[in-house]
Structure 1
Amino acid sequence: MMAKFITLDGIDGAGKSTHIHFMKQWFEQKKIPVVFTREPGGTPVGEALRNLLLDPRTQASLNTETLMMFAARMQHLEEVIWPALNKGTWVVSDRFTDATFAYQGGGRGVPLHRIEILENWVQQGFEPDLTFLLDVPLEVAQQRVAQTREKDRFEQEQSSFFERTRSVYLDRAKNKPKQYVVLDSTQTIEYIQKQLGNALEMMLE
């Protein structure tokens, strides 16, 4: 069976970290070779850009921020994602291009056609085989973030920013229903992980 590329996405506080731990156990039990990675990040270049992008002191224009996201992504694809898939190793990424459309496009207001130009240039038609979109009401997400960590540069944004971000995520999932599994992140962890496991099993079939 060909190796697959899976992504998890959603607004900050959607609960990705909790479910990535479950997915790691699932792959271990199935004895399927897999690489877990993240965006922005996943490579030394990507992690350096991540530190800049998330640092509240960073002052970058909208276009600069968007280009930095795709610079990190290109390095990620060339250094980690494509080599792993070519070797038959599955790849699971915490965030991918959906996040740029949602955060820079929806949240920041960068025209979506500009992001599409960069997507086509960097990815050359490459897309995830499956995306888990963890959806959660804004107030729940903000409460989770406030309880668990210091807010980064994005997490400090206003509520309206995250409403626009969430809206773009849901639009993208609605437009490509075969590629996305939308999970209600207000459900119990057990329920969500059952859904995750079912969708992963279907990929094996």
Structure 2
Amino acid sequence: MSFITFEGPEGAGKSTQIKRLAAKLENAGRDVVLTREPGGAPEAEALRALLLDKDRSWSPTAEALLMNAARDAHVRARITPALDAGKTVLCDRFSDSTIAYQVGVDEAFLRALQTAVVPRMPDLTLLFDLPVEVGLARAEARGAADRFEAKGEAYHRTVRERFIAIAAEEPERVVIIDAEASMDTVEKAVTEAVNARLPGLLGEPHGHPPAP
């Protein structure tokens, strides 16, 4: 059982890469659970709709509380049962995003919420990093920006800095991926990171046994 999270700013390409890694893991015979935050469980998806709604205005503290309420439901209903069953869990965003995005909330308070809600931190976190202006341009090209994407460059520069700080504090868990590269180059970096940090997880693809 392995728990891998995908983190990073807007437009970093996490959704594409998490699907590619899931396909590789399934090809290696792993039972994969692909999930996301906020969301991943019915109660958490309901809170996601509230959190991303551009017509609502939440304080940073309210955001942090709602995010962790959603995470609590997600962890209990989906992540923990999957890991207990020996499955590999890939999650698009997790608690690092709350630390990075809830700018203006005391970090000690955010860490206390994390400790209360998260019984197990990821085995590996892939942090997809790229310049803020590039990420926002990619997000804008997708259309229909959510409430976080619409917060402006200054806010997102702070988010990027906070993600980088997390990686510096926990290098044994977090691997920075250059998300400005091509999708195939990023995929290769993801594969290399998984093989280096979780050796054997990807195994040998079906139909291609090791050479004698």
Cα distance in 2 for partners of 1:163, 1:195 equals 24
Cα distance in 2 for partners of 1:168, 1:42 equals 24
Note the alpha carbon deviations across 1:147-186, whole angstroms, 9 max, x for none: 1121101110021100000000001001111101100111
Residue of structure 2 equivalent to 1:7: 5
Q: Are 1:182 and 2:176 an aligned pair?
A: yes
Single out whichever of 108-117 and 48-57 deviates more from structure 2.
108-117
Gaps in structure 1 of 5+ consecutive residues? none
Gaps in structure 2 of 5+ consecutive residues? 201-212
Residue of structure 2 equivalent to 1:65: 63
Of the candidates 5, 20, 24, which is equivalent to residue 26 of structure 1?
A: 24
The residue type equivalent to 1:80 in the other structure is R
Normalization by structure 1: what TM-score? 0.94
Q: Is the 8 A contact 2:83 2:89 kept in 1?
A: yes
Cα distance in 1 for partners of 2:117, 2:63 equals 16
Residue of structure 2 equivalent to 1:118: 113
Using the TM superposition, give the Cα deviation of residue 61 of structure 1 relative to its aligned residue in structure 2, in angstroms.
2.2
Of the candidates 74, 78, 99, which is equivalent to residue 101 of structure 1?
A: 99
Using the TM superposition, give the Cα deviation of residue 114 of structure 1 relative to its aligned residue in structure 2, in angstroms.
0.6
Q: Root-mean-square deviation (CA), in Å?
A: 1.0
Q: Is the 8 A contact 2:22 2:90 kept in 1?
A: no
Normalization by structure 2: what TM-score? 0.91
Cα distance in 1 for partners of 2:165, 2:61 equals 23
Of the candidates 117, 126, 136, which is equivalent to residue 130 of structure 2?
A: 136
Cα distance in 1 for partners of 2:32, 2:61 equals 33
Using the TM superposition, give the Cα deviation of residue 195 of structure 1 relative to its aligned residue in structure 2, in angstroms.
1.3
The residue type equivalent to 1:137 in the other structure is P
Corresponding residue SS for 1:21: helix
The residue type equivalent to 2:108 in the other structure is H
Note the alpha carbon deviations across 1:17-75, whole angstroms, 9 max, x for none: 11112112111210100100000000000000000000001122222111000000011
Cα distance in 1 for partners of 2:112, 2:145 equals 31
How many residues end up aligned between the 2 structures?
Answer: 199
Corresponding residue SS for 1:156: helix
**Displaced runs of 4 or more, over 4 A:** none
Note the alpha carbon deviations across 1:80-137, whole angstroms, 9 max, x for none: 0000000000100000000000000xxx31110110111111124x210000000010
Larger Rg: 2
Cα distance in 1 for partners of 2:81, 2:199 equals 21
Of the candidates 148, 163, 170, which is equivalent to residue 169 of structure 1?
A: 163
Using the TM superposition, give the Cα deviation of residue 143 of structure 1 relative to its aligned residue in structure 2, in angstroms.
0.8
